Structure 1
Amino acid sequence: MDAKLRIKQLMDDRGWSDYRLSQEAGLSQSTISNIFKRNNAPTIPTLEAICNAFGITLAQFFSADKTPIELTEEQWKLFKKWNELSDEKKKVLFDLMNIM
């Protein structure tokens, strides 16, 4: 899979510019420009930030189906909070969910 083409497809689907993607992903504009203009492959952390901006997971990004599942606003908030948790807190949350 060509990550650059996939990112471009997702940007086009949303009508986003390079600048908009950089703002939504919390990345520098030069990072986004380097992906497209210098053919730099995005690092995993960069790709995670891009996926977060699009509201998709890495699995959805690499899905053969290419139809991303849009997260609801509530799911998006949960996803953002999840990413802020330490590994220990994630385990506690899983344990709590398993007893519910």
Structure 2
Amino acid sequence: MENERLLAKIEELMKQRGYSRYRLSQLSGIKQSTLTTMFNKRSTVSIDTLTKISQAFGMKCSEFLSLVEDDPEANTAKDFPVCEWEALNKDRKHVVVLMMRLLKDEQAEIK
């Protein structure tokens, strides 16, 4: 997903809700200087930052990302729970990946 689209959607939501950068900083816990640098230099938005910003708008990361998608119907990955994935430790991520592979293999056998 393009970083520029993420930043544009953040700015759009800020405008809709009447949030200044200062207000977004207060709600998200991100320093105002960090937000200013992010917007002015169009720097890459990290998952941690995106999680905090999404929460400031009262939504999950996956909900925010689905707003950014051009064609949500064409991309089933939009439903992937990014925030929950990031919260898992390495071992649990490994288990999830194994389960996904098993499901994929099972599905291939059914077809």
TM-score band (shorter)?
Answer: 0.5 to 0.7
Q: TM-score, normalised by structure 1?
A: 0.61
Aligned length: 69
Deviation digits for residues 35-60 of structure 1 (CA, Å, limit 9, x no counterpart): 21011121100110001111011111
Is this contact kept in 1: 2:28–2:56, CA < 8 A? yes
**Which has more radius of gyration?**
2
RCO higher in structure (CA 8 A, sep ≥6): 2
Specify every segment of 5 or more residues in structure 2 that has no aligned partner in the other structure, as ranges: 70-83, 89-111
RMSD between superposed Cα atoms in Å: 2.3
**Which 4+ residue blocks in structure 1 deviate beyond 4 angstroms?**
none
Distance, in Å, in 1 between the alignment partners of 2:40 and 2:34 is 10
Select the structure that is richer in helix: 2
Q: TM-score, normalised by structure 2?
A: 0.56
1:56 maps to which of 56, 59, 63? 59
Identity %: 36
Q: Which residue of the partner structure matches residue 13 of structure 2?
A: 10
